[in-house]
A = this chain, B = another copy of it.
Amino acid sequence: MADIARRTEHRYGNRPTMKDVAARAGVGLKTVSRVVNGEPGVTPDTERRVQEAIEALGFRRNDSARVLRKGRTATVGLVLEDLADPFYGPLSRAVEEVARAHGALLINGSSAEDPAREQELALALCARRVDGLIVIPAGDDHRYLEPEIRAGVATVFVDRPAGLIDADAVLSDSFGGARDGVAHLIAHGHRRIGFIGDRPRIHTASERLRGYRAAMEDAGLPVDDAWVSPGSTEPERVRTAVREMLDAAEPVTALFAGNNRVMVTVVRALAERPRPVALVGFDDMELADLLGITVIAQDAAALGRTAAERLFRRLDGVDDVPERVVLGTTLLARGSGEIPPSAG
């Protein structure tokens, strides 16, 4: 009776264990384990009996116990910034693809751009003993991961580098991409170009701003402070920035949008204005081709794939020094970036 009670209030409902299977098949515990894991040394006849018992009981191996025993979880964690951001879909998918090829599962969660949440999430994944971690940083101090990395959690940062620790990172060439985009506008005759970006705390954002300034300097053009609007991607702020730059006494004739969210808002804002304004945006998006928006495209899938491959290389025991990989960007000319300056 005590036994019945135990079984009844058992936490997994009433999941059969290998012991149950062994009892039913009339074999030893280890023999069941062998069959389940396809290990050699089991007579076809015994194997059949075990399989039947597994079938009859609806047994499924408890991987939690397995993990505890074996030490490897065959699981990698992905901490991203926002699952709903179209940029991260392909990235995440590419990571999953590689993980799958290595027989691993993916746990993920988003930090919602909150450093505290990023840390909480990353450490929760470490507590689950993920074999490796891919992080798209929200914060700029990752020293909290040092003990984990020392303890053997392979870690790769994507899209932005780690802060204050030495770790692998796979990045797009934000600086070069932005410089190329702005140079493209300059080549089409623009002299006064506005830059609207994300908070400069974010590495990619500051790099893109740096790229903007470099392109202007290369062309010997001055940069007016009023043309530069780093800040949040909050739509209202972006709209205000667009308005101020275009309605100034000496308005800008072209805009560079620092990322996809900014770009979307800028496009919406420009759609309401009579005169066309040249625009180049960082990040490609679905349908952007149909709208004729010239963009600096980064290859999100390649970013994810490269990072994941690097991660699994480390998990396979390769142990070279942390490295920073930078992937190139592509300028896709579609019209909006080729609009000439309208007479001031």
Chain B CB within 8 A of A65 CB: yes
Point out the residues of chain B lying under 8 angstroms from A125, CB to CB.
105
Whether the Cβ atoms of B62 and A65 lie closer than 8 Å is: no
Closest to A86 in B: B86
Would A64 and B73 be within 8 Å (CB), given that A89-B85, A105-B124, A290-B271 are in contact? yes
Q: Is the CB of B107 within 8 A of A151?
A: no
Q: How far is the CA of A100 from the CA of B73 in the complex (A)?
A: 22
Q: Is there contact, CB below 8 Å, between B83 and A92? A: yes
Bound form: Cα–Cα A158–B70 in Å: 35
From known contacts A12-B152, A129-B62, A150-B13, infer whether A89 and B84 are also in contact, taking CB-CB under 8 Å.
yes
With A11-B70, A63-B128 as contacts: A93 and B84 at CB distance below 8 Å: yes
Number of interface residues of A (CB under 8 A): 61
Query: Is the C-beta of A274 less than 8 angstroms from some C-beta in chain B?
Result: no
Q: How far is the CB of A4 from chain B (nearest CB, A)?
A: 17
Known: A11-B72, A106-B107. A64 touches B128 (CB 8 A): yes
Chain B residue numbers with a CB within 8 Å of A268 are: 289-290
Q: Is the CB of A93 within 8 A of B82?
A: yes
Q: Is A219 an interface residue (CB 8 A)?
A: no
Residues 114-143 (chain A) with a chain B CB within 8 angstroms: 123-129
Which residue in chain B gives the minimum CB-CB distance to A10?
B71
Q: Is the CB of B12 within 8 A of A64?
A: no
Residues of chain B contacted by A89 (CB below 8 angstroms): 83-86, 88-89
> Is B105 within 8 A of A105, CB to CB?
no
Query: How far is the CB of A316 from the nearest CB of chain B, in Å?
Result: 15
Contact A108 B110 (CB under 8 A): no
From residue 36 to 73 of chain A, which have CB atoms closer than 8 A to chain B?
58, 60-65, 67-68, 70-73
Residue of B at shortest CB range from A261?
A: B286
By a CB distance below 8 angstroms, the chain B residues around A60 are: 123, 126-127, 147-148, 151
Interface-centre pick from A15, A100, A106 (highest chain B CB count, 10 A): A15
Contacts of A58 in B (CB 8 A): 147, 150-151
Q: How far is the CA of A152 from the CA of B60 in the complex (A)?
A: 13
Q: Which of B109, B124, B264 contacts A286 (CB 8 A)?
A: B264
Q: Looking at the complex, which one of B123, B127, B152, B264 makes contact with A287 (CB distance below 8 Å)?
A: B264
Q: Contact check: which of B12, B82, B85, B287 meets A129 at CB < 8 Å?
A: B12
Q: Find chain B residues with CB under 8 A from A11 CB.
A: 70-72
Q: Do B65 and A127 touch across chains, with their CB atoms under 8 A apart?
A: no
Does A333 reach chain B (CB closer than 8 Å)?
A: no
Q: Are the C-beta atoms of B64 and A93 separated by less than 8 Å?
A: no
Partner of A83, one of B13, B15, B93, B150: B93
User: A14-B151, A287-B291 given. 12 additional CB < 8 A pairs?
Assistant: A12-B151, A58-B147, A58-B151, A64-B64, A64-B67, A75-B128, A88-B89, A89-B89, A105-B125, A268-B289, A285-B287, A287-B287
29 interchain pairs (CB within 8 A)?
Answer: A11-B71, A12-B71, A12-B151, A15-B151, A60-B147, A60-B148, A60-B151, A62-B68, A62-B129, A64-B64, A64-B68, A65-B68, A68-B68, A83-B92, A83-B96, A84-B89, A84-B92, A86-B286, A88-B89, A105-B107, A105-B109, A108-B108, A264-B287, A267-B290, A271-B290, A285-B286, A285-B287, A287-B288, A291-B291
